[in-house]
Amino acid sequence: MKILIIGGTGTISTYVVSKCLEMKMNVTVMNRGSHNDSMPNGVKLIVGNINDEEETKKLLSDKYFDSVIQFVAFTKEHVERDVRLFKGKTDQYIFISSASAYHKPVEDYPFTEKTPLLNPYWDYSRNKIACEEYLNKVNDLNVTIVRPSHTYDNRMIMAIMSRWQFEYAHIKRLIDGLPIIIPGDGTSVWTITHASDFANSFVYLIGNKQAYNEVFHITGAKLYTWEQLTNILAKALGVKANIIHIPTDFIIKHMPEMEGPLLGDKSWSAIFDNSKIKSISKEYTSKIGYEDVVEDVVKYYEENVKLQRISKDFENLYDETIKLYQNKF
C-alpha cells in the first residue's frame, strides 16, 4: 500500500510512520525537512511546504497514493487546499481532528463518535470542527476523520496548567517546591493515550474501505486524575508535589489564556467509548501508562538544557493567581 503522510515527525505521526513501515506499507513523508534526521530507514522524503499550494502541486504532479494522511491541517482553509491538491490523487484522505471538539460543557459520558461537536471556549477546537463540517460535504473524495485525545510520547510533560512550549516550568516548580495548581477539586478523570497504542489501531484505518467517510476517535483505556499525573512526575523527580486546588472560573478570570485549554478541554473528565475503533483494529492496545515513561521524560529534559524554557510572564501570572486566591481566605 502506497501512502503519503503530511508531517511525520510529531508526537503521534512519528509512531504512525514506524508502525506503517512495520506493516510493510510504502511510506512517503512530506514536510519542511526540519526534523528528518531521525526518520526511519525505508521512508521516502518529499521536502516541501504544504502551505505553498503551487509548489506542492509540482512536487506531487506525477504521484498517486492509496491514502493521504494529514497531520498538520488546523483550519478550514487548510483542508480546502488539501481537497484541491488530493482529489483525484488518492483513494482516501485521512484528517486528524481532535476529541476536544466534543460538546462543551460536557453533557453525557462516555464520548462516542456520535457525541455532538461544540466548543465555545477554544479556537483550536472550533477550527477542527469547521474542518470536519467542510470535509463532510466534499464529494468524490473518500474522507476518514480521526479524533485523538491527549496523546503522548516519552518526552511529554503532563501539566494541566502550562504555556505551550514552556512546559518545563512544571518540572521546575515541582523541583523548587512551589505550589502546583490543580483546577477544581482534583477528582475529574482524564484519558491519556501513548502514541504507540494510538498507532496500533490507526494503521487499520489506512486503505480500509470500512473507514471511508467515517469518523473514529482513538484513545487508550487508562484514566488518571490530574493530581495523580502530577504525583507520578513528582515521584520521578524525587520530590513531593505541593498541590493547591483553585476553581477553574477563578483561574480563567486572572489567567484568560487558560480558558481554551481548561474550559475547552482539560477541566472536564474525558471518558471514551472505543467500540467503533475496536471493531476495525486488529490490535487495539492500551498498554502504556504515564508511570511507564515518566523516567524517560525527566531524563529527556535533564539532557536537553535548551528545552528548559520558562516564561516569566506566565509564571508571574501563575503565582499571582495563587496569591489572590489565598488572600480570599
**% residues pLDDT > 70 (the chain):** 100
Whether the predicted pLDDT of 46 surpasses 90:
yes
* Per-residue pLDDT, 154: 97
Asked if 2-152+193-218 and 168-191+221-270+287-326 have one fold, the answer is no
Task: Tell me the mean pLDDT in the region 227-237.
Answer: 98
Please give the pLDDT value at position 299: 98
Distance separating alpha carbons of residues 122 and 117, to the nearest angstrom: 12
Architecture of domain 2-152+193-218: 3-Layer(aba) Sandwich (3.40)
Mean pLDDT of 276-289: 96
- Does residue 57 surpass a pLDDT of 90? yes
d(Cα 268, Cα 313) in Å, to the nearest integer?
26
Burial per residue of 240-249, b for 16 or more beta-carbon CB atoms within 10 angstroms, e otherwise: ebeeeebebe
- In the predicted structure, residue 56 carries a pLDDT above the cut 80: yes
What is residue 49's predicted lDDT score, i.e. its pLDDT? 94
Secondary structure string (H, E, C) spanning the chain = CEEEEECCCCCCHHHHHHHHHHCCCEEEEEECCCCCCCCCCCCEEEECCCCCHHHHHHHCCCCCECEEEECCCCCHHHHHHHHHHHCCCECCEEEECCHHHECCCCCCCCECCCCCECCCCCHHHHHHHHHHHHHCCCCCCCEEEEEECEEECCCCCCCCCCCCCCCHHHHHHHHHCCEEEEECCCCCEEEEEEHHHHHHHHHHHCCCHHHCCEEEEECCCEEEEHHHHHHHHHHHHCCCCEEEEECHHHHHHHCHHHHHHHHHHHCCCCCECCHHHHCCCCCCCCCCCHHHHHHHHHHHHHHCHHHCCCCHHHHHHHHHHHHHHHCCC
Q: How far apart are the first and last CA of the chain?
A: 63
Architecture of domain 168-191+221-270+287-326: Alpha-Beta Complex (3.90)
Domain boundary assignment for the chain: 2-152+193-218, 168-191+221-270+287-326
Report CA-CA distances (Å) from 316 to 20, 169, 180, 211, 321: 44, 12, 13, 47, 8
- The more confidently predicted of residues 44 and 35 is 44
| pLDDT tens, residue by residue, 148-200 | 999 999 999 999 999 999 999 999 999 999 999 999 998 899 999 999 999 99
